[in-house]
């Protein structure tokens, strides 16, 4: 089902993809910063929790981008792979 307001759907897709790109750029710096308190406290729990929160945010933005793509195009990504 294609959204009747194409401009709003296209805007959501553009914004979600920008967030996804920004999170991809921040993976390495975030990992380095998250490892410092872990080294100071001699515990991997801090690192594990911060990385888990980051990955959950990344998954949420990826799902947001996927839904926005469906609203704009009305087709699944890579729909041509699953044609009969």
Q: Which residue has the tokens 């793509």?
A: 69
Residue 42: the pLDDT is 82
Q: Concatenate the DSSP letters of all residues of 39-75 into one string.
A: HHHT-HHHHHHHHHHHHHHHHHHHHHHHHHHHHHHSS
Residue 80: the pLDDT is 74
Cβ 57 vs Cβ 16: under 8 Å: no
Tens digit of pLDDT for each residue in 12-37?
Answer: 889 999 999 999 999 888 888 888 88
Does the pTM surpass 0.75? The reply is no
Residue 2 DSSP SS3: coil
- The closest of 58, 39, 35, 56 to 47, measured between CA atoms, is 35
Q: Where are the domains of the chain?
A: 6-82
Kindly tell me if the per-residue pLDDT of 40 is higher than 80. yes
Kindly tell me if the per-residue pLDDT of 58 is higher than 90. yes
Mean residue pLDDT of the chain comes to 84
Kindly tell me if the per-residue pLDDT of 3 is higher than 80. no
């Amino acid at each position: 089902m294609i959204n009747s307001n194409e401009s709003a759907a296209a805007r959501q897709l553009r914004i979600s993809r920008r967030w996804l790109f920004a999170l991809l750029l921040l993976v390495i710096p975030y990992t380095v910063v998250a490892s410092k308190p872990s080294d100071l406290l001699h515990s991997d729990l801090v690192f594990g929790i911060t990385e888990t929160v980051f990955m959950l945010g990344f998954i949420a933005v990826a799902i947001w981008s996927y839904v926005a793509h469906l609203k704009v195009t009305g087709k699944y990504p890579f729909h041509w792979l699953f044609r009969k």
